[in-house]
Amino acid sequence: MSTTSRPVTMEKITNLCKRRGFVFQSSEIYGGLASCWDYGPLGVELKRNITEAWWRDNIVAREDMVGLDSAILMHPKVWEASGHVEGFTDPLVDCKSCKQRFRADQLSGPKCPECGGELTEARQFNLMFRTFMGPVEDTASTIYLRPETAQGIFVNFQNVLNSSRMKIPFGIGQIGKSFRNEITPGNFLFRTREFEQMEIEFFVKPGDDAEWHERWKAERFAWYQRYGIRREHLRLREHGSDELAHYAKGCADVEYEFPFGWSELEGIANRGDFDLRRHSETSGKDLSYFDEETRERYLPYVIEPSAGVGRPLLAFLVDAYDEDVADGEERIVLRLDPRLAPIKAAVFPLLRKAGQPEKALVIRDVLKQHFLVTYDQAGSIGRRYRRQDEIGTPFGITVDHQTMQDDTVTVRDRDTMEQVRMPVERLATELRARLAPPAPPPHDVDGAARAAVE
Ligand code: GAP
């Protein structure tokens, strides 16, 4: 399906996000802060469900992965060693008339795209946010907000090795905030100055890197489909040699077809031994690995699947957005994977009398011990279903006249709108089964995951 035949637009998504409490503009009452966003009550649940799915599938379910949570502030030498002080730059030009700034590599002509004015020569602009540690604001106390979580993993490589029983090949994953002073942020959550990343650094023996790179490309490409993104809206794009980051031997992006075009969700890079070598040289600490079996010592190579959180979240929302007709009325429905949906079920009394609200509240409270469940008694039952459809709640549980006689309820499916009647005592088990995590593919992903790419 192409973008043009989909009902979704960025305007519809941003309106829905604001109206229903997924995402708000940061500091909105002061006019907002450009490219910074706050996750509201539903957005924070969706974000947590995405990061938890990632953590469960990539750390908990695998024998060859461990997790880490390193500090955002790091020794300034880290960023010298990593090449970010010198090389993490974009070419910047200023308009001499209107004073606006642009990325030189994104301009189509020699003049200012806003006012047609003359532009300055391009100069390199470092994307790292700088601040000072302690009370003295001088060069010696300059530190940076990390522009990627990856470096926290590299500088802890020996710590993890010494404190765990991990043997190569193995990986370290972490989720955390990163910051980049982007010159041209935009497209809602797509390019922001503060964002979260889900990163894996997977350490392999040199020579095994090409094979592991292929495996991770296949695994990560399959992951987005496992949580509902349609295959035809995803592609894997290999970088040309002119696009590669300063550390990368090779890279492929998982791209999604957003309403504004195909764009990167995640990069899967082969970083070679760049980072461990640079940190060994700069710190003077030996970061090599001794293989007990082969009696060889080497600097491991690194395969890095690196995703944001905001971009996948936006892709899950865009892909789930649909409009159709239910009971003769138009509805917006978010067909989110139930495991990602912010609220798992809504409980409704059909009538606001005859003991039905009290019964519905008891059901809500019992289910709330297991899942995020809401209660709604306002308006017609049709309107209540619509409200939940719009935020992607997969199950609607209705208490009616029959409930009061035989302790059964109807469970409505958001997507098919079919209703089945079931005993109240079966609800928790039934919902738990429908919300169970997918069986992960065998982590030797040659089979299912690879087939998904081909
Ligand atoms: N450690 C490697 C690294 O950071 P990257 O391609 O610069 O690689 C990885 O970033 C991912 O982080 C991207 O695929 C994207 O999902 C997310 N990301 C990067 N910059 C971002 C920004 N300004 N706003 C939102 N997400 C961003």
Q: Tens digits of per-residue pLDDT, 40-64?
A: 999 999 999 999 999 999 999 999 9
pLDDT band at residue 241 using 50, 70 and 90 as cut-offs: confident
∠ at Cα 393 (389, 395), nearest 5°? 100
Q: Tell me, what's the pLDDT at 445?
A: 45
Question: What number is the average pLDDT over the span 248-261?
Answer: 95
* Average pLDDT for the chain: 93
Q: Tell me, what's the pLDDT at 39?
A: 98
Q: Whose CA is nearest to atom 25 of ligand 1?
A: 191
Q: Give me ligand 1 centre to Cα 253, in Å.
A: 11
80-84, 137-141, 157-161: least confidently modelled range: 137-141
Angstrom distance (rounded) from CA 326 to CA 332? 10
* 420: β partners: 411
Q: Whose CA is nearest to atom 17 of ligand 1?
A: 308
Tokens coding 185: 């942020």
pLDDT band at residue 328 using 50, 70 and 90 as cut-offs: confident
Among 103, 172, 195, name the best residue to mutate to test ligand 1's pocket (greatest count of ligand atoms within 8 A of Cβ). 195
pLDDT band at residue 437 using 50, 70 and 90 as cut-offs: confident
248 or 169, greater pLDDT: 169
Q: Tell me, what's the pLDDT at 151?
A: 98
- The full DSSP string for 380-397 is -HHHHHHHHHHTT--EEE
Residue 220 CB less than 6 A away from ligand 1? no
Q: Give me ligand 1 centre to Cα 312, in Å.
A: 11
- The full DSSP string for 92-155 is EEEBTTT--EEEGGG-SSSB-TTT--BBPPPEEEE---EEESSS--SGGGEEEB-S-SHHHHHT
Q: Tell me, what's the pLDDT at 245?
A: 81
Whether pLDDT at 159 is above 80: yes
Q: Whose CA is nearest to atom 14 of ligand 1?
A: 266
Angstrom distance (rounded) from CA 102 to CA 107? 8
Residue 270 CB less than 6 A away from ligand 1? no
Question: What number is the average pLDDT over the span 268-279?
Answer: 97
Angstrom distance (rounded) from CA 67 to CA 59? 6
Q: Give me ligand 1 centre to Cα 9, in Å.
A: 23
Q: Tell me, what's the pLDDT at 375?
A: 98
Residue 182 CB less than 6 A away from ligand 1? yes
Angstrom distance (rounded) from CA 26 to CA 188? 12
Residue 168 CB less than 6 A away from ligand 1? no
Closest CA to 388 of 342, 449, 446: 342
Cβ contacts of 212 within 8 Å, gap of 6 or more: 169, 202, 204, 303
Q: Tell me, what's the pLDDT at 454?
A: 47
Residue 427 CB less than 6 A away from ligand 1? no
Q: Tell me, what's the pLDDT at 419?
A: 96
41-50, 114-123, 403-412: least confidently modelled range: 114-123
Q: Give me ligand 1 centre to Cα 30, in Å.
A: 28
Among 23, 247, 270, 306, name the best residue to mutate to test ligand 1's pocket (greatest count of ligand atoms within 8 A of Cβ). 306
Residue 199 CB less than 6 A away from ligand 1? yes
270-279, 319-328, 370-379, 445-454: least confidently modelled range: 445-454
pLDDT band at residue 442 using 50, 70 and 90 as cut-offs: low
Residue 310 CB less than 6 A away from ligand 1? yes
Q: Whose CA is nearest to atom 21 of ligand 1?
A: 191
Burial of 444 (0-12, 13-18, 19+ CB in 10 A): exposed
Residue range 343-402, pLDDT digits in tens = 999 999 999 999 999 999 999 999 999 999 999 999 999 999 999 999 999 999 999 999
Q: Tell me, what's the pLDDT at 160?
A: 97
Q: Tell me, what's the pLDDT at 2?
A: 43
Q: Whole-model pTM?
A: 0.94
Q: Give me ligand 1 centre to Cα 317, in Å.
A: 19
